[in-house]
Structure formats: structure tokens, C-alpha cells
Structure 1
Amino acid sequence: MTEAKASRPTLVWDASRRPTINDIARLAQVSKKTVSRVINESPFVKADTRERVNAIIAELGYAPDPQARGLAFRRSFLIGLVYDNPSPQYVIDMLQGILDAVRGSGFELLVHPCDRSSPNFLADVRGFVERQKLFGVVIPPSVSEDERVARLLTELDCPYVRIAGIRLDEPDSSLVTHDRHGGYQAARHLVELGHKVVAHISGPDTFRSAHERRGGFREGLAESGLALEDRYSLVGAYTFDSGVACAEKLFRLEPRPTAIFTGNDEMAAGVYKAARDAGLSIPGDLSVVSYDDSPTAPRLFPPLTSVRLPIREIGRVAAQMLLRDPEAKPAAAPSEFEPTLIVRESTARPA
């Protein structure tokens, strides 16, 4: 006799009543979702839990409704990624991370790009979740920063994991990336090199990450008595073209900045182009430090100094948080990620 069977009390059951999935969950002392996973042969259930649930199902002769089981099956094996991010590389890295987690599990990934500025934004998200009967959703910035989305998914009883620069939800449904500390590291690096006239190109103000990275950058400068003047602080769009346009404006200022911190690598690549067009060398005339440390960063010339945010790993952990057995103890995977500055050849002491 197994330990699970030995510890289970003898069942007392009214044979005239047909058992329900709620009865199985109560008697097995697990959630309804876990029973559903056992019925649908999900791999994400502990062996002893699976044995206990199956034993009760067999003893009571429980047979799930075929139509309801079909709906549960579709819900149980589809994960959604809902995003509104203008950086293609960020999205690709996030996708790869989620696919790393679901590969071989029987789950599939569905992608839903959206527009937060659209009047139909919430209706579109609702339609996506309801049509696909999603098992759960991964929501990166800036969608993750919208409390309306979290409320909507809670209303729909759809599990989610939010990714953001600060803690926005319970630890089992959110990942924190500490963007402010990354901006701080970028500032300290430039200060230590001796730069005093520095500029910043941030992401859109609709992204909390843009505020966090800019705030951390200001704090890092302030520690050495420096300030980020308003005319040296421009708002980009996390895109290559916005990096070009903002850099061109900064190059017309007097004095011209000797260093620029960009909110992501896409905009840094735009700064590289604007600098080349203006006849400026990197890092001889201009130091550039960026954020994300995407695969683009080491491929630029010169290789780009960037704050590393392991986006692919974050995507993988987010998906694993959705897939873990709700009856199991919390996973050992981190719910917080600390950014790390990776110094390369795009930064040097000012001329």
C-alpha cells in the first residue's frame, strides 16, 4: 500500500448521487484545477497527487462530461503572450524564453500583439482570452503595468504572470526586473569615467520602465552632484528611428553631450547612426551606454556597453510559473532579476 493510499481516509459516499469534479477535489484535498489536470493527463502534477486523485475517481466511478472535458483540454494547453512593445528584439527574446519552458510539455504558445492606446484594447484582450480559453497569460511591459488588464484576467479566472520594473502583484504572479537600479548603474559608470555633460533618451512615458530607468539614472548622477538637465532628457519610442531623431537634437546643443544613455539597445543603434552621420566617433567623441544587452549590443561597432536584462530567461521563468502544479511548494526559480552593467568598447573617458 502506498503512502498516499495509507493516509487517505475511507470514503463515505451516497451512491445515489453522481459525483462531480468539486467532490473529487474536496475528497482528494486538492484544487479543482489539479483534478482537471489529472483528468487531462497534464505532466505538471506530482506523482503522489495524481495517484491519490485517480484512486478517488476510480472508487467513486466518476466520469467527466465529454463536452466539459473538451473545453478543459483546450484551456489547459494554451498559453498566451499579450504585448504592446515596439522593440522587435525584446519580443523575440521573450518568445524564445517562453518556448524554452513549454517545449516538450504539450502546451502551445499563442501570441497577441495589441495597442494600449486603442479604445478597443481591453475588449480585444478579453476576446483573445475567451476565444482561446487560455490556460494562462504572460504579460510583459507595458501591458503588465495596466491594472485594468490584471483586473480583467482575474474576472475571467485566467492565471497570469506580470513582468515589470517594480512589484505590481503577488510574488507567485509577478516578476520584478528592478529597472531603476539598472539606470543607476549606467549613471555611475559614466560618472566614474569623468563625464559631466550627459544626456538620456528614454522610452515612451506610457512605459513604467522608462520612468524607472530615467529615475535611476538621475539618482546615479545626483550622488556626484550632477543633474540631468531637461534639455538633455528626451523621450524616444524604444525604436531605432527615435534614437536617430533624438540624437540629432542632442548633437545640436551647446555644449554637446559627451555621453548618452539610451533606454534600450534599439535606440542606441539609432544613436550610432546619427553619430556617424555627424562625423562623431564612438567612444572618442561620444560615449554610449544602453539597456537590455540584447544580441544586438555586442554586434555593433564598437560593441555596445549595456545594462543586461536576461529577457529570454525572464520569459522562461514566467511560463514555468504558469505551468507549475498549484498544489506544489513554490518553485525555486527567482521572482526577481537584478540588472547588470556589461562594459564594452562604446564608453571611455571624455576627450
Structure 2
Amino acid sequence: MTDDPHPLKPGKRATINDVARIARVSKKTVSRVINQSPLVREETRTRVNEVITELGFTPDPQARGLAFRRSFLVGLIYDNPSPTYVVNMQQGVLDALKGSGLELVVHPCNRYSDTLVEDIRGFVERQRLFGVIMPPSVSEDERVIALLRDLDCPYVRIASVSLDEPGVMVVTNDHLGAAEAAHRLADLGHRRIGLVRGPSLFRSAAVRGGGFRDALAERGIPMDPAYEYEGAYTYESGVEAGHALLSMKEPPTAIFSLNDDMAIGVMQAARERGLELPRDLSIVGFDDLPMAQRIWPNLTTVRLPIRDMGRMAAEKLLAPLRGVDPAKLSQPEVRPSLVIRKSDIPA
């Protein structure tokens, strides 16, 4: 099979160098085949395995463990407080990784921490990550991006606006979805409209809030700052926001929340105050998490395809394995859309 001009001497034990020479590949390629790396073409993998079998080559287990600087792990680094959002994102990443030979490992972080960058450095170096996927808001932190570039660790960022080269970005265009929510409430005749913002550290909070205010202004409805309340993208902060806005002398007739967790919290606050939904208060959320369809009234919300976003990001990360230059990849189209259910009615 090998027709090698320099066969092994009788009794000599085959080495990785022998396999590489006879298979006409590099030693590094042989190491990749031994470690079942997805970075090897199937034709090459077959040829190397045939030589390994013919020579009876047995790799040194210790050498095998040290063969690669990188593992076959993809890291999902996130700081989003919504567990449902994170699970949906994971499912999308796993959809893309299926059959690739790569596995997913998740790493929650806290952007308010003084040790954020060093914590992420430790995670990437310990796991020897193949690459990293980052949803907002950690995807928006340029300190983290600088670290990954310094470590030569491939990454893909998910964000509400473009922050990097198209080959490493999935842009979600959140302002378009917020504008749809504004048009919906304006069309229903609401004029006293409350806004539950997200935390200021999240760019999505500014983008969604800005898109909502701008769209209302286009309809001749200025957003009164007194009707705004900053939440934390959590259910508990939605409850707080709901009580604050509904205790006003002239409470809003409708409230737009910048994520579903807070919107559901607002609904709870309204019920605690004896209001009937949606007769006494219309509520619109953002993200379309599964819970939006399970509560009553079913929540009208802006659908963001979170699972698809995770899949798109992972596919970009995997592009080099499939012979595609990430720099030549186009920006995937992510467009939020309003899903009308039962939680909003005319004023």
C-alpha cells in the first residue's frame, strides 16, 4: 500500500515520524488524526489511518495528550441574567456543533467584576478553547475582544449593532423590533406609555430604547422621561418597575418592557395592584421567550430568534473547518418581528 522507498527495518518500532513520512503528511497532521481532530480532510484521515494500521503504530498516550495547544471545546461566555435566553442560545450553538467533533462549554461572567478580563483569560487558557461565542453584553466589551486577539483565540460576537468585521459578527438589529412595538402601541391609541429599560451596561438597552423613542416621535408621541424606569433584565426588576410606574398620579395605559422577563414582572405588579390585564394595562415585551406563550394573557412581544442567533454564531466559528474564509462571510440577516397575542388592546 505504501510503496515507500524507505521501509522500516525488521524489528523496529514505528514512530509518528515514520507514519508522517509514509503517508506523505506532516507530523502535525498525524497528531490531528490520532486525536480525532475535525481539522483534517476525510481523504487525508483515511490515508493516515491506513498507514497507522499497516505499521501497527501505537501513539504514546502522554504525547497524545500534549499534541495540541487547543482542545475541541467551544466556549459560550455570557453575562445575561435571563436563564431562558441562555438556554435558547446554547441550543442554537449545539445545533451547529452537531457532528463537528466539537463540544460546548459555558462560562457565566460578571461585567461589573474588577477581575472580568483575568477570569476570562483563565477560562480560555485552562480549556485551551477552539473558539469563543459571546452574546451581549459581554460581546460589547472591547477589553474582552482585545484579550481574545492577544490569545489568538477565534471568536464570534452577537450584538444589537455591528461592532467588528462581518466574519465575526451576528447583528440582531434590535432597534427595528423596538420600532414595531412603538408603532403597535401608537396604532392602539396609547399616549401615556411607560418604558422599562434594561441595564445601562447593555448596549441593547440603549438600542432598543432608542428605537422605541424614535418610532414614537415619528408618530408625534414624545416619550416622557418620567414614564421610564431602569430595570436589570430580571423578573424582580420588572416587578419593581411595574409598581413604580403604576403608582404615578397618571399611570401609563401601556408599558413596553425591553425584555420578556421584566414584562412578566410588570404583569405581576399590575395584578398585585388589583388591575385586570389587558383591560387596565397593555403590556408588550421583547425576545419572545417560551414563557411569553404560557402566561395569561399571552404576551405580545418582539420575537428575537435567539436559538437561530446561536446557530449562526457557531456556524461562523466553524467556517474554517469547512474550508470557508470567515472574512468572506456575509452578515447573517436577523430581523426582529412583532408577535401579537393577548396582552395589549386599544386604549
Per the TM alignment, residue 107 of structure 1 is displaced from its structure 2 partner at its CA by 1.6
| CA 1:240–1:79: 2 relative to 1, 3 Å | same
| CA 1:117–1:341: 2 relative to 1, 3 Å | same
Counterpart of 2:109 (choices 105, 114, 119) is 114
Per the TM alignment, residue 50 of structure 1 is displaced from its structure 2 partner at its CA by 6.5
Matched, 1:140 2:135: yes
Map 1:1-351; keep pairs closer than 5 Å: 40-43=35-38, 47=42, 70-71=65-66, 73=68, 75-325=70-320, 328-329=323-324, 335-350=332-347
Per the TM alignment, residue 66 of structure 1 is displaced from its structure 2 partner at its CA by 8.1
C-alpha contact 2:254 2:282 (8 A) present in aligned 1: yes
C-alpha contact 1:80 1:138 (8 A) present in aligned 2: yes
Q: Give secondary structure in 2 for the equivalent of 1:79.
A: strand
Paired residue type of 1:127: G
C-alpha contact 1:97 1:315 (8 A) present in aligned 2: yes
| CA 1:245–1:316: 2 relative to 1, 3 Å | same
Q: Give the number of aligned pairs.
A: 323
Paired residue type of 1:235: E
C-alpha contact 1:317 1:333 (8 A) present in aligned 2: no
Distance 1:304 1:36 in 2: 53
C-alpha contact 2:160 2:171 (8 A) present in aligned 1: yes
Q: Give secondary structure in 2 for the equivalent of 1:306.
A: strand
Q: Percent identity?
A: 56
Normalised by the length of structure 2, the TM-score is 0.83
Structure 1 runs of 4+ aligned residues shifted over 3 Å read: 32-55, 64-74, 329-334
| CA 1:145–1:284: 2 relative to 1, 3 Å | same
| CA 1:200–1:124: 2 relative to 1, 3 Å | same
Per the TM alignment, residue 288 of structure 1 is displaced from its structure 2 partner at its CA by 0.5
Report Cα offsets for 1:73-132 as digits up to 9, x if no partner: 472411111111111111111112112222343322111111111111100000000111
Please list every run of 5 or more consecutive structure 2 residues that lacks an aligned counterpart in the other structure.
Answer: 1-16, 51-58
Per the TM alignment, residue 246 of structure 1 is displaced from its structure 2 partner at its CA by 0.7
Per the TM alignment, residue 70 of structure 1 is displaced from its structure 2 partner at its CA by 3.3
Pairwise CA RMSD:
3.3
Per the TM alignment, residue 328 of structure 1 is displaced from its structure 2 partner at its CA by 2.1
